[in-house]
Amino acid sequence: MKEKIKKLFGRYAAAYIAVLLVLALVIPGIIVIAEFTKSDRTKRVIGTYGDIGSMFSSNYLANNMAVDTSSLASNTTVGTRRYVYVGSAESEGVAQVTVCNYPQGNSSLRYDSDITYALYAMLVKIDGSLQNTATASEVGDHWVDIEFNDSKLKAAGHESDTHSLSGSSVSMIKNDISTMSKLFSATDVFTLTFSPGFGSNGVWLYLLAVPQAGLSGIHPLDAVFRTAVRSESVGNAWHGYFNETGALRATSEASGEESESSAETSTAQPAEYDGFRYTIEGTGEGTCKLSWDTGHIALSEIFALYNDLTHNGAPATISADTELGWYCIEFDVNSDVKSRYDTQFYYSRDYPSTPWTWSELSGFVRLTFTPSDGSSASSTAPGP
């Protein structure tokens, strides 16, 4: 028996050796290809957010690498302008500002170190592109309440803490306001409440979040805020738009109402992104229906859960849009409670062979708003 085995092995030894040599050459190649594919895919996902700085992010505040963190009053260049829309000049404005340790729209990519940051707030007088600390006479009887509901307060067992800015107290600094652990995806929420007509006298709220020194790749976040009244013609309307620097629109309403516009001059096209931030905002109460072409793009899976979306008293869910042949999600909105939602879309398949324009990309999304008062519905982006 042993002799037979020896003869058999001897007869095929050369073949065995040849096979082993081929495997020795091919298997490392397969491993290298697999590792490259994995690495390349990771790069695509991270590329969605530009750089790691986006892992200290906010729904309203924008990255500002030029901000002077040594002195709040020394930052005289106007930051990103944000408008909190209200139904009338007699209404108080409310906005919820978030600060997160992950990119907007993807909580799985949290920063790999703990982040401790400070929050600065100041009432400023804006003149053109410059801002300076407002005087008591410039502020007048206007005010802003800032309600803190951050992770440090929660850890101490407190629900919230409110600080007010007015003519008698035009600025505040809250040092080491929060430490967001690298172990968890954290979202701190700050609720801003503005006096009726806030901003009508040229005074804005300047908000600045500054991370501790020594953290690589993350930058301060800032913006200025005021209220603005929606014109009667758009007093009960919601709309959606892609909120990337290359896509931000500068709106000009026929009523002459001051509206949010971007100072961004980026001409970046969709092909330069792996994902696309999408903002839904408006005034009024009713139901929004967000539909998207699943043959081209996919909605962030955490959109409904993150925003606690509901429809007719039940959690909002994704379903088929039988009219368009797409997918959709319907959710109830009330601008007196919340007037803005942020989410993200991704490619649902490989990059298109012919790069999309922003107009083409917008055609893959439709937002329909149906007012609760029974008036006619309106939509953003007609779809097919």
Residue range 317-341, pLDDT digits in tens:
999 999 999 999 999 998 777 778 8
Please answer whether residues 365 and 292 qualify as being in contact, where contact means their C-beta atoms are separated by less than 8 angstroms: yes
Assessment of whether the complete model's pTM goes beyond 0.75: no
At residue 9, the pLDDT reads: 46
At residue 225, the pLDDT reads: 94
At residue 300, the pLDDT reads: 86
pLDDT, tens digit, 9 for 90 and up, residues 98-125? 898 888 766 778 888 999 998 899 999 9
Give percent of the chain above pLDDT 70.
Answer: 69
pLDDT of 37 > 80? The answer is: no
At residue 28, the pLDDT reads: 42
Q: Give the separation between CA 282 and CA 215, rounded to whole angstroms.
A: 36
Phi-psi region of 308 (alpha: psi -120 to 50; beta: other; left: phi over 0): left
pLDDT, tens digit, 9 for 90 and up, residues 142-167? 999 998 865 554 555 545 578 899 99
pLDDT, tens digit, 9 for 90 and up, residues 51-76? 333 688 888 888 887 777 766 667 77
Q: Give the separation between CA 257 and CA 85, rounded to whole angstroms.
A: 11
Least confident of 224-228, 254-258, 356-360: 254-258
Q: Give the separation between CA 105 and CA 321, rounded to whole angstroms.
A: 23
pLDDT, tens digit, 9 for 90 and up, residues 161-204? 788 999 999 888 877 667 888 898 888 888 899 999 999 999 99
